[in-house]
């Protein structure tokens, strides 16, 4: 039988330091401050882009201006998804209007077959919208999108193809980020009754356990499979420091991906994998005191290198969910680290003042350092997973 894990199951409020001797701000006050600021910034962003047809926020460019994208960029679903989360927290007509407006801008992505990012694009936007509103039109769009993503699955290898570029180097590249798209497939399986979607998700997750992880449980970024033998012929990086380094966001995607897959399938192997990844992160000597990872755990120039607030937000969100799957010390440790990360992200070091940061919520993320792109900037997915983590923590502490 499919097990469901419900946030809040283990009364972890006991684990959280709501106050300590030196008058630390209560975690509920931290969460409320983060949610209020996120709402203010998201509404400012929505108003700025409302009249710019098809535009969705992406980052700040080198000139300091807001950079936007259309539906086809992999991040198109994050701002609409963030608006849905904020609406869920505070159901105003204004938030709903903007969540719907920006979600609609992502719709053409449903037909894309040249990207593996449809989970991010469609599930974060329409998926959250459908979860909250049950709008049947959203469901149809999602099913079309899931079928588009399914065209990238190779049954011989048993994985979904990530990228179509660099064909002379990679026969069939799969990046660890691709774990994040599997939730779209498990949803599609339930929504359509077609078990094919879930089978593809299980196969992709199993192959990734087999081939993406090193002995220390850190993850490679890119594994390219030989299309004839179905075994990897290259293990490399694209956005990390080196092929053998631990790119911070890659570890975050891995942790979130396996935690989510355990929630979705109750397969113990996924829980075990998530535990191993979490231990790699939480015990890493290069995880700084404020628990916001440097962009790559293995950069020899640490501490003089950029942080990645997006990795911290993704890790915090995943750890909160993982904490609810373990009733022992490990679960407590997950929640403690997530709380530390949320406190740091909600401090002036990372949280933008109202009206600044081109209306993004968080500062100091790193998108693609080796490509000299998006270094120490806000990113729409940092904001999305930050808001998700705030809401998950709020549920866990039961609104205290």
Footprint on this chain of ligand GLY (rule: CB under 6 A): 74, 177, 239, 249, 367
- Chain center to CA of 162: 16
Structure tokens at 347: 């401090």
Residue 299, Cβ density class (10 Å: 0-12 exposed, 13-18 middle, ≥19 buried): buried
Q: Nearest approach, Cβ of 193 to ligand GLY (angstroms)?
A: 30
Shortest Å distance, C-beta 252 to ligand GLY: 8
Structure tokens at 285: 């000597």
Q: Which is nearer to ligand GLY, 162 or 189 (CB)?
A: 162
106, 122 Cβ separation under 8 angstroms: yes
Residue 100 CB, nearest approach to ligand GLY (Å):
26
> Catalytic: 177?
yes
90 backbone dihedrals φ, ψ, rounded to 5°: -150, 80
Dihedral sign for Cα atoms in the order 20, 24, 25, 31: negative
Closest separation in Å from C-beta 34 to ligand GLY: 22
**Residue number with the smallest Cβ distance to ligand GLY:** 177
Backbone φ and ψ of 258, nearest 5°: -75, -30
Q: Among residues 105 and 238, whose Cβ is nearest to ligand GLY? A: 238
The CA distance from 196 to 155, in Å, is: 11
Q: 22, 168, 177, 299: which one is catalytic? A: 177
Residue number, 35 or 363, with CB nearest to ligand GLY? 363
- Separation in Å, CA 254 to CA 147, 220, 318: 24, 10, 10
Nearest to 81 by CA among 123, 48, 144: 123
Cβ distance to ligand GLY smaller for residue 257 or 331: 257
Note the Cα 305 to chain centre separation in Å: 22
Give yes or no: 333 in active site: no
- Dist CA 160 CA 149 (whole Å): 8
Q: Which is nearer to ligand GLY, 104 or 177 (CB)?
A: 177
> Smallest gap, in angstroms, from Cβ of residue 131 to ligand GLY?
22
Helices 248-265 and 182-192 sit at what angle, rounded to 10 degrees? 20
Q: Closest approach of Cβ 74 to ligand GLY, in Å?
A: 6
* DSSP output for 41-97: HHHHHHHHHTTSTT-EEEEE-TTS-EEEE-TTSTTTTHHHHHHHHHHHHS--HHHHH
* Calculated CA dihedral for residues 309, 353, 393, 291, nearest 10 degrees: 30
Length of the chain as a residue count: 400
Q: Based on CB atoms, which residue is closest to ligand GLY, 191 or 242?
A: 242
Q: Which of 117, 299, 326, 333 is catalytic?
A: 117
Nearest to ligand GLY of 31, 311 (CB atom): 311
Least distance (Å) between residue 273 CB and ligand GLY: 19
Catalytic site residues? Answer: 117, 177
């Amino acid at each position: 039988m499919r097990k469901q894990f419900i946030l809040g199951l283990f009364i972890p409020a006991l684990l959280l330091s709501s106050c300590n001797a030196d008058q630390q701000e209560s975690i509920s006050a931290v969460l409320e401050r983060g949610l209020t600021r996120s709402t203010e910034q998201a509404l400012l962003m929505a108003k700025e882009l409302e009249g710019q047809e098809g535009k969705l926020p992406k980052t700040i460019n080198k000139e300091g201006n807001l950079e936007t994208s259309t539906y086809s960029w992999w991040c198109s679903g994050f701002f609409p998804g963030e608006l849905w989360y904020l609406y869920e927290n505070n159901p105003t007509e204004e938030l709903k209007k903007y969540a719907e407006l920006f979600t609609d801008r992502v719709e053409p992505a449903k037909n894309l077959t040249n990207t593996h990012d449809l989970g991010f694009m469609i599930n974060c936007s329409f998926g959250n919208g459908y979860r909250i509103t049950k709008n049947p039109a959203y469901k149809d769009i999602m099913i079309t999108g899931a079928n588009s993503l399914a065209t990238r699955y190779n049954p011989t290898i048993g994985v979904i193809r990530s990228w179509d570029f660099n064909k002379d180097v990679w026969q069939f590249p799969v990046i660890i980020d691709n774990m994040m798209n599997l939730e779209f497939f498990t949803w599609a399986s339930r929504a359509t009754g077609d078990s094919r979607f879930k089978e593809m998700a299980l196969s992709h997750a199993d192959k990734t356990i087999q081939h993406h992880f090193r002995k220390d449980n850190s993850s490679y970024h890119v594994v390219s499979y030989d299309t004839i033998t179905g075994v990897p012929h290259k293990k490399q990086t694209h956005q990390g420091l080196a092929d053998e380094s631990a790119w911070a966001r890659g570890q975050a995607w891995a942790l979130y991906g396996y935690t989510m897959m355990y929630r979705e399938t109750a397969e113990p192997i996924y829980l075990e994998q998530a535990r191993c990844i979490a231990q790699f992160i939480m015990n890493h000597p290069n995880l700084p005191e404020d628990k916001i990872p440097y962009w790559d755990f293995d950069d020899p120039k640490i501490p003089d290198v950029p942080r990645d607030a997006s990795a911290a937000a993704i890790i915090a969100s995943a750890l909160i969910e993982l904490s609810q799957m373990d009733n022992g010390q490990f679960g407590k440790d997950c929640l403690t680290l997530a709380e530390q990360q949320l406190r740091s992200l909600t401090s002036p070091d990372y949280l933008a003042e109202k009206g600044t940061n081109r209306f993004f919520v968080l500062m100091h993320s790193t998108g693609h350092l080796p490509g000299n792109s998006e270094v120490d900037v806000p990113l729409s997915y940092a904001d999305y997973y930050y808001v998700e983590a705030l809401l998950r923590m709020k549920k866990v502490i039961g609104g205290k």
